[in-house]
Amino acid sequence: MKQYVVDAFAPRPFTGNPAAVCVMDAWPTEKSMMLLARENNLSETAFIVGGNGRYHLRWFTPGCEVELCGHATLASAYTVMEQIEPGLDEVRFDTLGGELVIRRDGDAFLMDLPTYELREIPVTHEMTTAFGARPSRAVLGLDLICVFDDEETVRAMRPDQTLLMTIPGRIQNATARGTDVDCVSRSFCSKLAIPEDPVCGSAHCQIADFWCRELGKSEVLAYQASERGGYLRCRPLGEGRVEIGGEASLVAVSEIVAPLP
């Protein structure tokens, strides 16, 4: 089995969000995929099976399988269009989250992803304690989005990972309006065994939707203010879909030689 390590939302290696992409002729067991995800110890390991521009795609964190992952989808699309079928301009993935279409746009790749209905919920003492700062607003979709008045609050926060697990949402996001970009965010994923996702595409399916409505814009440029950092071009498409784009960089190609259970 060949494995690629790709930095997503990264114009150069060692920035953005790293994902492993395992290219296979047939599916191994779920136990094998889980063991590889834990061995890689990246926020996501993607597994793809297929060809001729259409693949089945599954994503595993070190803790579980997930129904949607943006950065590992971008990494998988890069792997297909640059390494497996070079010159291809579009790839389709069948996933737990439905069909995903990714197309090339110059040096970037644009993903057509599902978004989630958002509803405003009360800001609670538990949110304030978990993040170490009081949000001005809280919005819940699949993930929790806590909005802060100052981007420096988001950049500097050191949340309590244990307390984050007690508040709503699959992922707990902190976001604020940006100075040099439209919005700045961070994504904490304690419930998925990931303290902080370097650049989270699936979270931005919701963060971008929120900020486009809040700012009255048809698209936003978002910055994930993690240690590695990364930029995302985000454009709601309507009817529950959002386009998220970014570049990717290849870091390593390896062969999995250990026998899989």
Residues in the chain, how many?
261
Q: Which domain holds residue 176?
A: 119-239
Its pTM stands at 0.89
User: Which amino acid, one-letter code, is at 128?
Assistant: T
Claim to verify: residue 154 and residue 191 sit in the same structural domain? yes
The CATH number assigned to the domain holding 193 equals: 3.10.310.10
Q: In this predicted structure, what is the pLDDT of residue 198?
A: 94
Q: In this predicted structure, what is the pLDDT of residue 261?
A: 85
Is residue 46 a part of any domain in this protein? yes
Is residue 112 a part of any domain in this protein? no
Structure tokens at 229: 């950092």
Claim to verify: residue 78 and residue 175 sit in the same structural domain? no
Claim to verify: residue 57 and residue 158 sit in the same structural domain? no
Give pLDDT tens digits along the chain (261 positions): 999 999 999 999 999 999 999 999 999 999 999 999 999 999 999 999 999 999 999 999 998 999 999 999 999 999 999 999 998 999 999 999 899 999 999 999 999 999 889 999 999 999 999 999 999 999 999 999 999 999 999 999 999 999 999 999 999 999 999 999 999 999 999 998 889 999 999 999 999 999 999 999 999 999 999 999 999 999 999 889 999 999 999 999 999 999 988
Residues annotated catalytic, as ranges: 44
Number of domains in the chain: 2
Claim to verify: residue 143 and residue 37 sit in the same structural domain? no
Is residue 31 a part of any domain in this protein? yes
Claim to verify: residue 214 and residue 233 sit in the same structural domain? yes
Hey, what long-range contacts does 54-57 have (CB within 8 A, 24 or more apart)? 54/91, 54/92, 54/93, 54/94, 55/80, 55/91, 55/92, 55/93, 55/94, 56/27, 56/93, 56/94, 56/95, 57/93, 57/94, 57/95, 57/100
Claim to verify: residue 155 and residue 232 sit in the same structural domain? yes
Is residue 230 a part of any domain in this protein? yes
Is residue 111 a part of any domain in this protein? no
C-alpha distances in Å from residue 217, one per residue of 67, 74, 140, 189, 223: 28, 24, 21, 28, 16
